[in-house]
Amino acid sequence: MISTAHAYRYLGPSWADQTAVGLATSGGRTVAGPVANPQFFSGVLTRPEVAAAGLAAVADVAKARYWQQRSAASRDPVVTCDGRQLRFESFSGCGGVHARLDLLGGALDGDVVARGTTNVDVNGPLRETLARIRAGSPLHLSVGWDELAVTTGEGAVVEKKVPLPERWLRGFAEVQVISAQFDARAELSAAEAGRFLRSLPANGDLWAVPSGRGLRLTARPAAGAVHLAGPGRLAAIKPLLRLASGLRVYGPPVGPTSKPVASAWELTLPSGRLVLTLSPEARRGFSGEGAVLDALASEAAGADADLVGALLDFEPAVEVDLLADRAGLPAERVRDALGQLGVAGRVGYDLAEASYFHRELPYDATRVERMNPRLRAARALVAAGAVHLEGDTATVTVEDRVNRVRLSPDGTALGCTCQWWAEYRGTRGKCKHTLAAESAHRGDHDTDEDDL
């Protein structure tokens, strides 16, 4: 597994007491461009217990490995300020759980200094203090050093170097594309949510089916069900149940023969939301799901993404029709472009609002395409002339093995004779043969091998 060292450089450690929280920032991007240590917000948290518990939950996911548990380097959470709310995101070390805390406008009373995205330092002492914060007097929050943070926090520069495995970066990109295919499947009251979550086993491969006002667990998929693999991965939600008003559950359409799929669990909080998105299996991270392959494979979507990306301005919600009008593109092409921007980490997806939001991950997102071996292999096959089209069939020759791909009239692959397709049936993205066949049907014959 290939890793790249990523350096966080903070002006000092984040800190907290019973009156204030100062979050140190590192290497971000604002509407003005790259900034070493941006300041986004300075003001008051009207529900300090919600913000403290939610931030602690996001930090817990960042340092966790839910599969083959062992100590691992923690990647600091990402925060995005869009002028109306703060969104904190993290991804588990095992690559199978994405967490996001949204502090909505009602939770914040203060000044937005800038809009953008950066990492925030979440250290041991900060976690300990956050765990002791309860409801009471409003709490001051600074995201980035302000005068209060400079005088109260320690002034020494803090540097951390952590490995960022390729599978971790790929997973962070995949989860946005996967989430955009979800619909709400169930909504539980706080009491029902507490009952359900506290009754879950730590392990298992289960399905949650709406039943009355709650959910019941089954071992088999059914229409309207939500897959729940590794129920213990929802542990970060439980400390916030005392503050919650409800739980909304999301997933893709499934039926009696469906294979494991991802799911999202959104806890509704006073002026906030905590969302955990789980991979289809506890042992399986998001990096191999292949949801990004269609977005990456389309050369037209790539060109559109450059145009649409230039029009983004850290909006709380990306309005497709408005972007289409500004870009001079049909709405469907804008949606495809947003999918590719999600692959690059430049947009996230908000299930509650059913829309993308602009953010720029503070990592090298240009590596995401290069980290998808199936796409690289497909482009190499096309460049080598290994794809032969005849009617609704494409023959793809790999060494001495011949694979046949069925195509619809518009060139979309319907199936392949390879072992990958036989095992997964497209549930983990397309195989290299179907990607190559679709590319050849589109006429993508000018692939430069230097770009593979």
> Which one-letter amino acid corresponds to residue 347?
V
Q: What pLDDT does residue 268 have?
A: 97
Beta strand pairing call for 226-229 and 205-211: antiparallel
Helix H or strand E segment including 142: strand 139-143
Please give the Cα distance from 308 to 369 (Å, whole number). Answer: 18
pLDDT by 10s per residue, the chain, length 452 = 566 778 899 988 999 988 899 999 998 899 989 999 999 999 999 999 999 999 999 999 999 988 876 666 678 999 999 999 999 999 998 889 999 999 999 999 999 999 999 999 999 999 999 988 988 878 899 999 764 444 444 446 788 888 877 778 778 878 888 898 899 999 999 999 999 999 999 999 999 999 999 999 999 999 999 999 999 999 999 999 999 999 999 999 999 999 899 999 999 999 999 999 999 999 888 876 666 666 666 666 678 888 999 999 998 999 999 999 999 999 988 988 888 788 778 899 999 999 999 998 887 655 555 667 787 888 889 989 999 999 899 999 998 899 999 999 888 888 999 988 888 877 777 889 998 998 888 886 544 433 33
What is the number of residues in the chain? 452
- Token pair 């002339």 is found at 385
Instruction: Give the pLDDT confidence score for residue 375 in this predicted structure.
Output: 79
Helix H or strand E encompassing 33: strand 33-35
* Whole-angstrom distance, CA of residue 290 vs CA of residue 174: 7
Mention every residue, 6+ apart, whose C-beta is less than 8 A from residue 15.
Answer: 21, 22, 125, 126, 129, 149, 152, 153, 154
Dihedrals phi, psi of 420, to nearest 5 degrees: -60, -45
Contact 362, 117 (CB under 8 A): yes
DSSP letter for each residue of 406-417? EE-TTS-EEEES
What pLDDT shows up at residue 160? 85
Task: Report pLDDT for 68.
Answer: 74
Q: What is the pLDDT of residue 77?
A: 94
> Phi and psi (nearest 5°) for 170?
-60, -40
Residue 4 has a pLDDT of 74
The CA angle 310-334-368, to the nearest 5 degrees, is 65
Please say whether the beta carbons of 392 and 406 come within 8 A.
Answer: yes
pLDDT at res. 148: 44
Residue 232 CA: distances (Å) to CA of 131, 197, 228, 365, 366: 21, 10, 10, 30, 33
Distance between CA atoms of residues 289 and 286, nearest Å: 6
Rounded CA gap, 215 and 445, in Å? 50
CA distances from 318 to 237, 309, 350, 402 (A): 27, 11, 10, 44
Instruction: Judge contact between 80 and 117, C-beta under 8 A.
Output: yes
